[in-house]
Amino acid sequence: LSAKQWYNGEKSQTIIRDTIVADTGKYYASANLKESAQVGNYSVVADSVYTQLVPSAQTETPMVNINAAGDSVALVKTASGVLNKTFPNITVNTVQGLYIGSSVMPKSVEFNLFGSAITDVGGELKNSAGTSIGTIDYQNGAIAWNSNAGAGVATITVQFMPAAKVTAPVESMLIYVNQENNGFNWIKNLVPLPSPGSLQFSYLVQNQVYTLRDNGAGQLRGSDSSFGSGSVDYETGTMAVTVGELADVGSAILLTWSNMITAQERSGLAINKAYVEIPVNDSI
């Protein structure tokens, strides 16, 4: 709101509140009873144990040049083969990472580190024993080591398939939750087909949003395992999700993803010579 609008008592159309809770504080509130209570009862049944806290601070964040439908970054294969890139005398520790040089297609990274064969699985780098030694950011081509990677100096030859980041419009789907269809398992066929790493599955429990994201290997995971899990097939578009709790009746499950229909690989194509036809009079 401008100062004039605020002075005239006009209300903002959009308000985003963020609550900062102090762990040392105690909060009290009233709640409606789900069942009538009688004098002498030792316990009562409340309608809900959740309530809204008053925000302790307000901030304004302007948002400009944003697509109302949303945008998503899809990874598109840039070449039919793989590349081998050698990084000599790389320092491996939890502080320093490694930049490969371009975006990377999921499930295409292979290299040896201190005698162990390393591959990528859903954004994690794992050795042959299945131990995670770090993570990889596919969009930026950045590797971050963890303590299981060891420490020291090594020469690493990384084999990977380069990718291009394509900004694509977001596809969306709503699944309305009611008494008849509510359950822990949700299955849908997505059209158009989702690109790797783009699918998000968001559902509502006690007015709290929980989101599962595709890790690029066809696995849907949340920031906590209790949120649920799922899978998506990039070839058929079939999605199967098991949620951690039943979604709120009357809410809707939101699916968002992007596809590669707008992008086409053109590497290796022959380039024709450019020329302009100039008609010539035969009598000349």
Q: What is the pLDDT of residue 277?
A: 82
User: Are residues 134 and 92 part of one domain?
Assistant: yes
pLDDT tens, per residue, the chain with 284 residues: 677 777 788 877 766 666 665 556 677 778 888 888 888 888 888 888 777 666 556 677 787 777 665 666 777 777 667 899 999 999 999 998 999 988 898 889 999 999 999 999 888 999 989 999 999 988 889 999 999 999 999 999 999 999 887 777 788 999 999 999 999 999 999 998 988 888 999 999 988 999 999 988 889 999 888 899 999 999 999 999 999 999 999 999 999 998 866 666 676 778 788 888 888 776 65
User: Which residue, 133, 160, 187, sits at the end of a domain?
Assistant: 160
pLDDT tens profile 151-196: 999 999 999 999 887 777 788 999 999 999 999 999 999 998 988 8
Q: Is residue 50 part of a domain?
A: no
Q: Could you tell me if residue 276 is inside a domain?
A: no
**What pLDDT is attached to residue 79?**
66
Q: What is the pLDDT of residue 267?
A: 67
> What's residue 35's pLDDT?
86
Whether 217 and 252 share a structural domain = yes
Residue 198 shares a structural domain with residue 237: yes
**Shared-domain flag, residues 179 and 154:** no
Q: Which of the 8 DSSP states describes residue 46?
A: B
181 and 246 share a domain?
yes
* Domain annotation covers residue 282: no
Whether this model's pTM surpasses 0.75: no
In terms of domains, do 184 and 253 share one? yes
Task: Give the pLDDT confidence of 69-85 residue by residue, as tens digits.
Answer: 566 677 777 766 789 99
Cα separations in angstroms, 223 against 175, 214, 227, 247, 249 = 22, 12, 8, 18, 24
Residue 110, domain member (yes or no): yes
Q: Which two tokens stand for residue 141?
A: 């081509």
Is residue 172 domain-resident? yes
Which CATH number do you get for residue 230? Answer: 2.60.40
- In angstroms, rounded to a whole number, what is the distance separating the alpha carbons of residues 222 and 214? 9
Residue ranges making up the domain that contains 150: 82-160
The DSSP H or E segment spanning 156 is strand 152-160
**109 with 186, same domain?**
no
Cα-flanking dihedrals φ and ψ of residue 6, to 5°?
Answer: -65, -40
Residue 8 domain flag: no
Overall number of domains in the chain = 2
Task: Kindly state whether residue 71 falls inside one of the protein's structural domains.
Answer: no
Query: Does 10 fall in a domain?
Result: no
